[in-house]
Chains A and B, each alone.
Chain A
Amino acid sequence: GAVVSQHPSWVICKSGTSVKIECRSLDFQATTMFWYRQFPKQSLMLMATSNEGSKATYEQGVEKDKFLINHASLTLSTLTVTSAHPEDSSFYICSAGLGGRGRTDTQYFGPGTRLTVL
């Protein structure tokens, strides 16, 4: 149980284009989903917390107009990287929490999406 999928697993795009990444909880409903970015040989950097039906909460330093997050249902959150540039190339990972709003609990992670911007 508690499976999270991400699509696509990798994407290559041209500079200036937008890329959408989907995160789905397959066998449970996730009130809260998280989006992380991971640089090579580094830890996960939390970008934003996404609650179903409300606006995402972005971490300091993360541009909300560049990284658009939509959490339209209890099983789907999307991250759109708008006007992508080479510096946006990274490994993006989503997770879904079982704790519910305002409660810390286990997060289940998707397999990640490797974005390369040329």
Chain B
Amino acid sequence: AQSVAQPEDQVNVAEGNPLTVKCTYSVSGNPYLFWYVQYPNRGLQFLLKYITGDNLVKGSYGFEAEFNKSQTSFHLKKPSALVSDSALYFCAVGPSRGYQKVTFGTGTKLQVIP
């Protein structure tokens, strides 16, 4: 069975500082990995995904994520945090083959402090 772990319930970072939101995964075979962001009382917005290719994936709003196969991690990063980045972030994993079901992590609340 596939699974995702987001070890931090909340991450606090000062505006302008780099941010990292952690994610580790477990899946049979090669993974498809995703990051989504959710603002209060809204659905999820797609940020970026890793399917294959370069381990560093660039996405929306200046976010990027690094796929590390040996550590089974897919941490979300941004060089300089903005107050508007404050939101709930979800990591998700799916199999590269077969059924489309994607498993979401429990979410990490990012708080950017002015």
Contacts and interface: CB of A to CB of B under 8 A. Distances in A.
A5 B46 CA distance: 15
A49 B106 contact: no
Interface string B31-46: 0101010000111111
Interface residues of B, number: 24
Q: Is the interface of B mostly helix, strand, loop or mixed?
A: loop
A97 B100 contact: yes
Interface of A: 2, 4, 6, 32, 42-44, 46, 49, 91, 93, 95, 97, 99, 101-112, 114
Interface of B: 32, 34, 36, 41-46, 49, 90, 94-102, 104-107
27 contacts: A2-B46, A42-B106, A43-B90, A43-B105, A43-B107, A44-B44, A44-B104, A97-B100, A99-B100, A101-B100, A102-B98, A102-B99, A104-B32, A104-B94, A104-B95, A104-B101, A105-B100, A106-B34, A106-B49, A107-B46, A107-B102, A108-B46, A110-B43, A111-B42, A111-B43, A112-B41, A112-B43
